[in-house]
């Protein structure tokens, strides 16, 4: 197909809408004699008047050449596709205003090199899936490698031109999602494109064109063979899309295998978990209103009912005391989380949020200070609030905590006295005592030997 060049201004976008650091990266690359453009979601979303999540940059420079331009502020990453991460300090306006000083976030910009469409140079596994490819090519070739026509638009924010190889502009105007090339082989090459299609179309309110949607039914089974890590990344993208509830419903509707996203299957496909559904609704609302939200909170809150009912099961079946049953339940879920690709760090952070629920429920005056300075306090409190909405929390206790955490005018000493007065203070952890006893016993045995 012939390349078309269209004025960006005539389509209602201009460089002011582009992230400042992305524009700087493009200007730097161009001043070193390379071509550089914004491609993918950034251009697509600007043209559709949606807020871009990020600006992906593509260039004629090889990763090594990009590294020479940005030197210490960059790093080459990736194996299957080598790309360069360029680091920038970005002013965080919200936090700067709040703290009345300039606060910077570390921003990472992804710069990739034009890829070749010389498919014979690409390593595929026995199922036809691409496993390694670092062949560089022209912009034209790069455009053929992209998934959907609206994702293959190249925007030069300096010259204010858009390069369109696959009639993407027309599809933007028609609000149509259309795959580039032969649909069947594009999904065999990379089955994750099926999920991407559903996520992007749902998020942007696009119609998936017939030939693009047709092979889903026969090829969706390929998704189950995708590496866990890749599916985990997709799961995160869905959760952070701002349309997670709808996307998950669409995936269920398509009937993807339970193996693809076991967590979604367990919570949403097989059950009507009202609590988890509310978590998705709140998350979507927040993201659509530009609020920030963390994956740790989403996962911890989404799985709360699972933790809770498992703890109840331990209480009823084994007569375990509440705190112990709760602890067992938090540990018991770990294999499921690992199976779903969740990282150790994420799991550990989720546990902190869960354990803090027990701290809220059995408040201890002695632990207040530690609790108030805990880095997961806000996220744990948000989960506690949601639980309160579901009538899981004692109303008086909730009011006390709300006062203690959120009311700056409240007399904290009086509140602590009230706490000790009204709520039974937990005994020191029984488990620790036992351990100490065991250890003492062992020491005694060792000494006797
Ligand atoms: P998002 O708004 O989620 O960032 P995106 O389309 O930008 O959407 P990215 O994963 O950031 O998604 O990818 C950037 C671009 O890289 C895409 O727009 C597309 O051109 C290309 N791309 C990404 N994944 C694939 C894929 N699996 N197959 C072909 N091209 C892809
Ligand atoms: Mg993107």
CATH number of the domain to which 200 belongs: 1.10.3090.10
**pLDDT tens by residue, 10-63:** 999 999 999 999 999 999 999 999 999 999 999 999 999 999 989 999 999 999
Q: How far apart are the first and last CA of the chain?
A: 85
From the CB of 147, is ligand 1 less than 6 Å away? yes
**pLDDT tens by residue, 169-185:** 999 999 999 999 999 99
From the CB of 151, is ligand 1 less than 6 Å away? yes
Are 370 and 320 part of one and the same domain?
A: yes
From the CB of 193, is ligand 1 less than 6 Å away? yes
Stretch 222-241: mean pLDDT: 95
By the CB criterion, residues less than 5 angstroms from ion ligand 2 are 40-41, 54, 56
User: SS3 for 216?
Assistant: helix
Are 137 and 188 part of one and the same domain?
A: no
Counting from 1 in the atom list of ligand 1, the atom nearest the Cα of 110 is 11
- 238 Cα–ligand 2 center, Å: 13
Nearest CA to ligand 1 atom 8: 41
- 190 Cα–ligand 1 center, Å: 12
CATH number, position 164: 3.30.460.10
User: Is residue 290 included in any domain, yes or no?
Assistant: no
Query: Looking at the CA of 40, which ligand is closest?
Result: 1
| pLDDT at position 121 | 52
Stretch 160-164: mean pLDDT: 98
Are 34 and 170 part of one and the same domain?
A: yes
- What does pLDDT average to over the chain? 89
Give the CA distances from residue 211 to residues 21, 113, 199, in Å, rounded to whole numbers and listed in that order.
Answer: 38, 29, 17
User: Is residue 428 included in any domain, yes or no?
Assistant: no
Are 333 and 417 part of one and the same domain?
A: yes
From the CB of 192, is ligand 1 less than 6 Å away? yes
The residues pairing with 74 across neighbouring beta strands, listed in sequence order, are: 86
* DSSP-derived pairing of the beta strands 130-132 and 207-208: unpaired
User: SS3 for 147?
Assistant: coil
From the CB of 238, is ligand 1 less than 6 Å away? no
Contacts of 399 (CB under 8 A, 6+ apart): none
Sheet holding 56-59, edge to edge: 4-7, 161-164, 153-156, 36-39, 56-59, 104-113, 83-91, 74-77
Stretch 359-387: mean pLDDT: 90
Are 412 and 330 part of one and the same domain?
A: yes
User: Is residue 57 included in any domain, yes or no?
Assistant: yes
Stretch 360-373: mean pLDDT: 85
| Cα–Cα distance, 107 to 100 (Å, whole number) | 21
From the CB of 242, is ligand 1 less than 6 Å away? no
Query: Looking at the CA of 19, which ligand is closest?
Result: 2
Select from 124, 155, 174 the last residue of a domain. 174
The number of C-alpha atoms within 13 Å of 118 and in the hemisphere containing its C-beta is 9
User: Hey, what long-range contacts does 238-242 have (CB within 8 A, 24 or more apart)?
Assistant: 238/195, 238/199, 239/280, 239/283, 239/295, 239/298, 239/299, 240/53, 240/287, 240/293, 240/295, 240/298, 241/199, 241/202, 241/203, 241/287, 242/203, 242/284, 242/287, 242/288
* DSSP-derived pairing of the beta strands 104-113 and 56-59: parallel
| Cα–Cα distance, 57 to 25 (Å, whole number) | 8
From the CB of 46, is ligand 1 less than 6 Å away? no
| Cα–Cα distance, 280 to 283 (Å, whole number) | 5
| Cα–Cα distance, 433 to 151 (Å, whole number) | 60
**pLDDT tens by residue, 71-110:** 999 999 987 778 999 998 888 887 888 888 888 888 899 9
Counting from 1 in the atom list of ligand 1, the atom nearest the Cα of 112 is 16
49: left (phi over 0), alpha (psi -120 to 50) or beta: left
Are 316 and 337 part of one and the same domain?
A: yes
- Determine the Cα angle at 233 with ends 230 and 236, to 5°: 155
Provide the pLDDT confidence category of residue 440 given band limits of 50, 70 and 90: very low
| Cα–Cα distance, 76 to 62 (Å, whole number) | 10
- Nearest residue to 84 via CA among 105, 62, 106: 62
User: Is residue 157 included in any domain, yes or no?
Assistant: yes
Q: Is the dihedral of CA 218, 219, 225, 227 positive or negative?
A: negative
Written as six digits, the tokens of 60 are 């004629």
Nearest CA to ligand 1 atom 21: 146
User: Is residue 411 included in any domain, yes or no?
Assistant: yes
Looking at the structure of the chain, the number of domains it has is: 3
From the CB of 226, is ligand 1 less than 6 Å away? no
**pLDDT tens by residue, 293-304:** 899 999 999 999
User: Is residue 199 included in any domain, yes or no?
Assistant: yes
User: Is residue 449 included in any domain, yes or no?
Assistant: no
- 167 Cα–ligand 2 center, Å: 20
Are 9 and 133 part of one and the same domain?
A: yes
Q: Is the dihedral of CA 95, 99, 102, 106 positive or negative?
A: negative
Are 375 and 308 part of one and the same domain?
A: yes
Are 96 and 24 part of one and the same domain?
A: yes
Q: Is the dihedral of CA 81, 84, 87, 92 positive or negative?
A: negative
From the CB of 361, is ligand 1 less than 6 Å away? no
Nearest CA to ligand 1 atom 27: 193
| pLDDT at position 443 | 38
From the CB of 392, is ligand 1 less than 6 Å away? no
Are 132 and 198 part of one and the same domain?
A: no
Best mutation site among 113, 191, 196 for ligand 1 pocket (most ligand atoms within 8 Å of CB): 196
Stretch 100-127: mean pLDDT: 79
| pLDDT at position 134 | 66
Best mutation site among 147, 181, 194, 200 for ligand 1 pocket (most ligand atoms within 8 Å of CB): 147
Are 16 and 48 part of one and the same domain?
A: yes
User: Is residue 429 included in any domain, yes or no?
Assistant: no
From the CB of 203, is ligand 1 less than 6 Å away? no
Select from 158, 174, 190 the last residue of a domain. 174
Give the CA distances from residue 237 to residues 53, 173, 195, 423, in Å, rounded to whole numbers and listed in that order.
Answer: 10, 25, 10, 42
**pLDDT tens by residue, 56-68:** 999 999 999 999 9
User: SS3 for 107?
Assistant: strand
| pLDDT at position 95 | 81
| Residues spanned by the domain of 401 | 299-422
> Taking a C-beta distance cutoff of 8 angstroms, is the pair 37, 146 a contact?
no
Q: Please report which residue ranges of 146-294 form alpha helices under DSSP H.
A: 168-174, 183-189, 192-204, 210-213, 216-219, 228-239, 244-254, 262-264, 274-288
Are 330 and 397 part of one and the same domain?
A: yes
């Amino acid at each position: 197909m012939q390349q078309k060049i269209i004025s960006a201004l005539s389509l209602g976008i201009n460089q002011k809408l582009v992230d400042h650091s992305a524009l700087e990266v493009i200007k730097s690359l161009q001043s070193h004699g390379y071509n550089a453009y914004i491609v993918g979601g950034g251009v697509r979303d600007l043209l559709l008047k949606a807020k871009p999540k990020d600006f992906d940059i593509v260039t004629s420079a090889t990763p090594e050449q990009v590294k020479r331009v940005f030197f210490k502020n960059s790093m080459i990453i990736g194996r299957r596709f080598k790309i360069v991460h360029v680091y920038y300090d970005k002013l965080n306006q919200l936090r700067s205003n709040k703290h009345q000083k300039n606060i910077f976030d570390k921003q990472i910009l992804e710069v990739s090199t034009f890829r070749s469409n010389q498919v014979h140079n690409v390593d595929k596994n026995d199922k036809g899936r691409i496993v390694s490819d670092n062949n560089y090519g022209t912009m034209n070739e790069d455009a053929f490698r992209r998934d959907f026509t609206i994702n293959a638009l190249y925007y030069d924010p300096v010259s204010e031109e858009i390069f369109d190889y696959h009639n993407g502009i027309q599809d933007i105007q028609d609000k149509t999602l259309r795959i580039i090339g032969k649909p069947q082989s594009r999904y065999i090459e990379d089955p994750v494109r099926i999920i991407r299609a559903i996520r992007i179309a749902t998020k942007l309110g696009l119609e998936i064109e017939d030939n693009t949607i047709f092979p889903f039914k026969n090829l969706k089974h390929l998704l189950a063979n995708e590496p866990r890590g890749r599916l985990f990344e997709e799961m995160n993208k869905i959760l952070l899309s701002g349309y997670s509830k709808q996307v998950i419903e669409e995936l269920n509707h398509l009937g993807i295998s339970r193996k693809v996203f076991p967590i979604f299957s367990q919570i949403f496909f097989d059950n009507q978990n009202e609590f988890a559904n509310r978590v998705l609704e709140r998350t979507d609302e927040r993201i659509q209103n530009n609020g920030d939200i963390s994956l740790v909170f989403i996962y911890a809150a989404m799985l709360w009912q699972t933790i809770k009912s498992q703890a109840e099961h331990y209480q009823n079946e084994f007569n375990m005391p509440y705190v112990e049953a709760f602890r067992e339940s938090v540990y018991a879920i770990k294999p499921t989380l690992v199976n779903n690709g969740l990282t150790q760090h994420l799991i550990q952070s989720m546990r902190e949020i869960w354990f803090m629920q027990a701290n809220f429920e059995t408040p201890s005056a002695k632990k207040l200070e530690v609790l108030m300075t805990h880095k997961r306090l806000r996220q744990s409190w948000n989960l506690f609030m949601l639980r309160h909405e579901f009538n899981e929390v004692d109303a008086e206790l909730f009011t006390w905590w709300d006062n203690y955490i959120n009311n700056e005018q409240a007399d904290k000493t009086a509140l602590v006295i009230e706490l000790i007065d009204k709520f039974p203070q937990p005994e020191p952890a029984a488990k620790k005592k036992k351990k100490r006893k065991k250890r003492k016993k062992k020491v005694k045995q060792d000494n006797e030997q």
